[in-house]
Structure 1
Amino acid sequence: MLNSYTYSLFSRRMFNIMRRFTPDVEEYSIDEAFADITGMRRVLRSSYVGIAEQMKRAIERELGIGVSVGVSLTKVLAKVGSKHQKPSGLTVIAGRSITHYLEHLPAGKVWGIGPATTSYLAKLGVKTALEFARMPEAAVRKRFTKPSIEIWRELRGDSVYPVISREKSVYASISKMKTFAPPTSDREYLFAHLLRNLESACIKARRYGLAPRKILSLLRTQEFRDRGSEATLIRPSALPLELSGLLRELFEMLYREKELYRATGVVLLELTQDTNVQYSLFESPMKAEKIRELYEAVDSLSGRYGKHTLHLGASHPLEQQGKGKRGTPTVREETRLYGETQRRHLGLPILHVK
């Protein structure tokens, strides 16, 4: 079982292997990536399918893991393909094959389509991805917002989302946003979501040895109005236990009891290297060091049993009331290999090839 630091190094090796075949590799998450292999056939003397097969074999041979690969015209279709033969298959969705792969795929299983859009599509009599893709352009542009229109175009084989080929080793900021359905005004449930956003953002910051100087808290209303509040920390920290009190203050400044909210978000700003920590005159260095040691243990356990295995008590309502998930789980979340449990997963990265 890999801890979070080792897992990060493992995934970086995977991304570097992919870059042998194309410089255009987008690190979508720690265990998923997109690669644009357009124009590489002559250089590598192989077909696009052959390049994907070589890339897959290289990763499996050098890292000793299985990866799921989807090859297609667009990012959305490549994601569809990668889910088709999980956990270790290769699926090619050519233009002439799009209909075959979309005709039985529920619309809600498409990358980027969440519960609210799925429900709206159902009201229009649209149940499958193919039915959505076959909607007339005029109707789509009239009834949907830009993100849904872009997904509609991608499902039709029209590439809208480019592969952003930069290595994620330095971050100007780290943001985590969670949309849930139905909208709610429940104070503690909303704060639980906000705190879980903070925990997720801090996990990513610690993975890269970073800590923020500022944090920004966001609440999004049912009418898509955003309210935000920002605070400067007395010193950089990526430890939620040290930040939760400040986050509660920001939340109380934003929250309106009679307002319905559909999303919460946290942004870590002015990131700096988390080294040579200097404590303020008003802090207890001993207490601060104990909290740091605590999170070293938390990260170790999370590497073994899954992210958020240990979490702050104020975020626990999510475990009791549900997370109101919007959109489909990741391929890795949906895939449970022999011997795995909901909390315990092997570190098997998944990649998508466009």
Structure 2
Amino acid sequence: MLQENTGKVICTHTWSSAIAHIDADAFFVACEQALNPSLKGKCVAVGKERGIITALSYEAKQKGIKRGMRLNQAKNICRDLIVLESHYETYSLFSVRMFEILKRFSPLIEEYSIDEAFVDLTGLRRLHSKTYKEIALSIQSTIKQELNISVSIGISLTKTLAKLASKLKKPYGITLIPGNQIHIFLKDTPIEDVWGIGPNTASLLKKLNIRTALEFVEKDENFLKRYLSKPYIQTYNELKGIQSIEFIPKLPNKSISKAQSFAPSNKESFIFSELVKNLELASYKARRHGLFAKKLTVFLKTSDFQVSFIKVALSIPTNLPIMLTNTLKEAFNKIYTQGLFYRQTGIVLSDLTEKTQQDLFEDTVKIEKIERIYKALDKINSRFGNNTVCLASSLASKQNKKQHLNLPFIDIKI
């Protein structure tokens, strides 16, 4: 219930609901720093390929660098600025892992962007045997431990309040706004900082002597209806602790794709070897990020740019190429046409998850043995280059490109 006296509460319910907004801190740069820890604590930005700053570290922000700034201008401000090319697929994989972690805390998650999510924590205190703040701390520490990136979290009664709260203590902050403290928070919140209120609407509201979020909710709803449309009335109610913006549970459906073009060829063994090589590269990236694919898509492109593809649902999620070669060969045989010239092959691993489950009919000892083998192979390939050690079925690709093949053949019995 709205009170005219700002010293009194706007909402009398402390926790009638609990919506968390999780916002990763300097996400793109944080992903780069997680993969290359030597970049931590330094002025780092991404966007080299575009010639402008698209994301930057907090250290770079403190120097006065801003998003959208041209590289030469940014370098003039900070000579030590490290500018990297963007790797959006890598950022998507970090995003998948982050959302998988959030699923451990609540079944109701709404993806807002690649690095932001709303999580409905209502009624989960008993399940976790923790307060809402302790749940937020657990989310933070789990993401930090497993992904080596930080997130800021806001928790309140509605999505609008939670999103405002998550900005208060960035980076790596936690802010809770129970219903009986909403008025304190809104008193110091400029109207232009409210989620959903753009510059033009903020300008209009200021002309109506509404400069803070508290002044906004103190107005009579009929007064606001004279000047604003329905979405802003929803925001008005959300700021009062009344859920008006629908919570729509949805999770990202990210994927890993690898494709390689080559001189047109009609040699079946070579074309298939290119496909296997793509599978190995995509699978390596999945293992690097601790992800398992539930679906495999295979595509071939002819010399006249005609594309044929097939999607296969996997019996168990995996990131091990040797477990997929039979499936790959079957898919290849269904879309490959003898005699046609092809110029590109591609692989897409999709429906990614961070957990794998064992089929009752699978040989778990065999799978664990394969996993140990790939851990060793990944170390070798990481040190000496991709495909230094590869499946024999991808060797035709190297041979066609006249690479040096004076390599020992490793016969592994599994």
> Which of 1 and 2 has greater Rg?
2
Whichever residue aligns with residue 256 of structure 2, its letter is: I
Give the corresponding residue for 2:52.
36
The Cα of 1:164 is off from its aligned counterpart by: 7.2
Alpha-carbon distance in 1 for matches of 2:305, 2:75: 40
Query: Is 1:316 aligned to 2:395, yes or no?
Result: yes
Of the three residues 255, 258, 262, the one matched with 1:173 is: 255
Change (3 A) 1:200 1:237: same
- Give the whole-Å Cα distance in 1 for the aligned partners of 2:337 and 2:273: 16
1:223 aligned counterpart, secondary structure: coil
What's the counterpart of residue 72 of structure 2?
49
Query: Structure 1 residue aligned with 2:378, among 299, 318, 330?
Result: 299
- Aligned CA RMSD, in angstroms, stands at 3.9
- Alpha carbons 1:36, 1:163 under 8 Å: kept: no
Distance of 1:166 and 1:297 partners within structure 2:
22
State the distance in 2 between where 1:237 and 1:205 align. 9
Normalised by the length of structure 2, the TM-score is 0.44
CA 1:202/1:47 → structure 2, altered by over 3 Å: closer, same or farther?
closer
- Are 1:178 and 1:265, in contact at CA under 8 Å, matched by a contact in 2? yes
User: Could you tell me whether the CA contact under 8 Å between 1:41 and 1:47 is conserved in 2?
Assistant: no
- More relative contact order, 1 or 2 (CA 8 Å, 6+ apart): 1
> Is 1:256 the counterpart of 2:319 in the alignment?
no
| In 1: Cα distance, 2:87 partner to 2:370 partner | 39
CA distance in structure 1 between the partners assigned to 2:299 and 2:333 by the alignment: 11
SS in 1 for 2:360: coil
The 3 A distance-change label for structure 1 pair 228 and 15 is farther
Closer, same or farther: CA 316–209 of 1 in aligned 2, 3 Å? same
Partner of 1:190: 271
- Decide whether the 8 Å contact of 2:64 with 2:77 is kept in 1: no
- Map 1:136-151 to 2 at 5 A: none
Distance 1:52 1:164, change over 3 A: farther
- Tell me which residue corresponds to 1:225: 306
Q: C-alpha separation between the residues in 1 aligned to 2:78 and 2:324?
A: 42
Structure 2 partner of 1:236: 317
State the AA in 1 paired with 2:308: R
Give me the identity figure in percent.
30
Is the contact made by 1:174 and 1:201 (CA closer than 8 Å) also made in structure 2? yes
Residue 247 (structure 1) aligned with residue 328 (structure 2): yes
| Matched AA of 2:64 | V
Tell me which residue corresponds to 1:269: 350
Q: Following the alignment from structure 2 to structure 1, what is the Cα–Cα distance between the partners of residues 392 and 312?
A: 23
Q: Tell me how far 1:283 sits from its aligned partner.
A: 1.2
Quote the Cα distance in structure 1 between the aligned partners of 2:347 and 2:358.
24
1:297–1:163 CA distance, 2 compared to 1 (3 A): closer
Secondary structure in 1 matching 2:36: helix
Distance (Å, rounded) in 2 between the aligned partners of 1:8 and 1:307? 21
Q: Work out the CA distance in 1 between the residues paired with 2:297 and 2:89.
A: 27
Q: Give the Cα–Cα distance (whole angstroms) in 1 for the partners of residues 36 and 50 of structure 2.
A: 13
Distance change >3 Å, CA 43–CA 176, structure 1 → 2 = same
Structure 1 distance, partners of 2:43, 2:344, is: 35
1:191: how far off?
0.4
Aligned residues: 208
Shift of 1:210: 0.6
Please give the secondary structure, in 2, of the residue aligned with 1:236. strand
Per-residue Cα deviation, 1:59-85 (whole angstroms, up to 9, x for no partner)? 5xxxxxxxxx79xxxxxxxx9xxxxxx
2: CA distance, partners of 1:56 / 1:320: 45
Q: What are the equivalent positions in structure 2 for 1:1-354 lying under 5 Å apart? A: 9-11=34-36, 14=39, 17=42, 19=44, 25-26=46-47, 36-37=52-53, 43-44=64-65, 48-49=71-72, 51-52=74-75, 57=80, 59=82, 167-168=91-92, 169-171=94-96, 172-181=254-263, 183-273=264-354, 275=355, 277-322=356-401
TM-score by length of 1: 0.51
Contact 2:52–2:70 (8 Å) recurs in 1: no
Aligned to 1:64: none
CA distance 1:47–1:298, change in 2 (3 Å): closer
Local SS of the residue matching 1:291: helix
Change beyond 3 A, Cα 1:243–1:8? farther
State whether residues 180 and 323 of structure 1, in contact with CA within 8 Å, keep that contact through their aligned partners in structure 2: no
SS at match of 1:37: coil
- Give distance in 1, aligned partners of 2:373 and 2:91: 30
Deviation at 1:278, TM superposition (A): 2.4
